[in-house]
Structure 1
Amino acid sequence: MKLRYLMLLCALPAQAAAACMFTSNMAPFPADTSALVDNARIPAPEIASSSLVRGAGGGATCDALGFVSVQLRWPRGSDYSLDQIGFEYRVVVGEAPEGLFPGTVLASPVSGRRAEHQFIFQDLPPAQQRPLDLVLEVRAVTPDRQRGAPARFVLGR
Structure 2
Amino acid sequence: MKLAYLMLLCAMSAQAAAACMFTSNVTPFAADTSSLVDNAGIPAPEVEASSLTRGIGGGATCDSLGFMSIQLKWPRGSDYDLDEIGFEYRVVGGDAPAGMLPEAVVVAPVSGRRVEHQFTWQDVPAGEQKPLYLQLEVGAVTRDRQRGAPARVTVHAPGS
TM class by shorter-chain length?
over 0.9
User: Are 1:52 and 2:78 an aligned pair?
Assistant: no
Alpha-carbon distance in structure 1 between the residues aligned to 2:5 and 2:141:
55
How many angstroms does 1:153 deviate by?
1.2
Alpha-carbon distance in structure 2 between the residues aligned to 1:32 and 1:128:
39
Alpha-carbon distance in structure 1 between the residues aligned to 2:59 and 2:2:
29
Alpha-carbon distance in structure 2 between the residues aligned to 1:4 and 1:71:
52
SS at match of 1:134: strand
Number of positions where the alignment pairs a residue of Structure 1 with one of Structure 2: 156
SS at match of 1:130: coil
Structure 1 moving runs of 4+ over 2 Å: 2-11
Match in the other structure for 2:137? 137
Question: Which amino acid in 1 is paired with 2:95?
Answer: E
Match in the other structure for 2:151? 151
Per-residue CA distance 1:39-67 (angstroms, 9 max, x = gap): 11100000111111100111222111101
SS at match of 1:121: strand
Gaps of 5+ in 2: none
Match in the other structure for 2:63? 63
Question: Which amino acid in 2 is paired with 1:114?
Answer: R
Match in the other structure for 1:118? 118
User: Are 1:9 and 2:8 an aligned pair?
Assistant: yes
Question: Which amino acid in 2 is paired with 1:87?
Answer: F
SS at match of 1:148: strand
Match in the other structure for 1:101? 101
Per-residue CA distance 1:109-150 (angstroms, 9 max, x = gap): 101101010101000011100111001100000000000001
User: Are 1:127 and 2:122 an aligned pair?
Assistant: no
Per-residue CA distance 1:84-129 (angstroms, 9 max, x = gap): 0000000110000011112111111101101010101000011100
How many angstroms does 1:7 deviate by?
5.6
Identical residues among aligned pairs (%): 63
In terms of mean alpha carbon deviation, does 4-13 or 75-84 score higher? 4-13
How many angstroms does 1:4 deviate by?
7.1
Alpha-carbon distance in structure 1 between the residues aligned to 2:30 and 2:6:
47
How many angstroms does 1:6 deviate by?
5.8
Alpha-carbon distance in structure 1 between the residues aligned to 2:11 and 2:20:
15
Q: Compute the TM-score of the two structures, normalised by the length of structure 2.
A: 0.92
Alpha-carbon distance in structure 2 between the residues aligned to 1:113 and 1:78:
11
Gaps of 5+ in 1: none
